[in-house]
Amino acid sequence: QVQLVESGGGLVQAGGSLRLSCAASGRAFSSYNMGWFRQAPGQEREFVGAISWSRGTHYSDSVKGRFTISRDNTNDTVDLQMNSLKSEDTGIYYCAADLSHFVSTNPNLYEYWGQGTQVTVSS
């Protein structure tokens, strides 16, 4: 079992930056692939990016070059640094954990989820 808690959301102007953090508790954090997803009102949950247990990173085309994911296996945290934010980045951001060998962009394959943190980008 893994419990996940996101923090760091808020209101920011377009062009600004935010850093989200996801704190994990439970066993074997370093073995999990960690994903970030977001969901805008009336839309499906969307893959943002992920970092594998071996620290490989993967990003959606919409955030590539603007967002960076990192993990700290000592403190059991995974961060999402978001730069050059756009209004279309607005949504609830979730972190998720998965024990599969390969990183997935499919939210249905992630076993554990945080409660989410709201990010609002004003234009």
The string of DSSP codes covering 40-98 is -TTS--EEEEEE-TT--EEE-TTTTTTEEEEEETTTTEEEEEE-S--GGG-EEEEEEEE
pLDDT, one tens digit for every residue, the chain (123 residues):
899 999 999 999 999 999 999 999 987 899 999 999 999 999 999 999 999 999 999 999 999 999 999 999 999 999 999 999 999 999 999 999 998 878 999 999 999 999 999 999 999
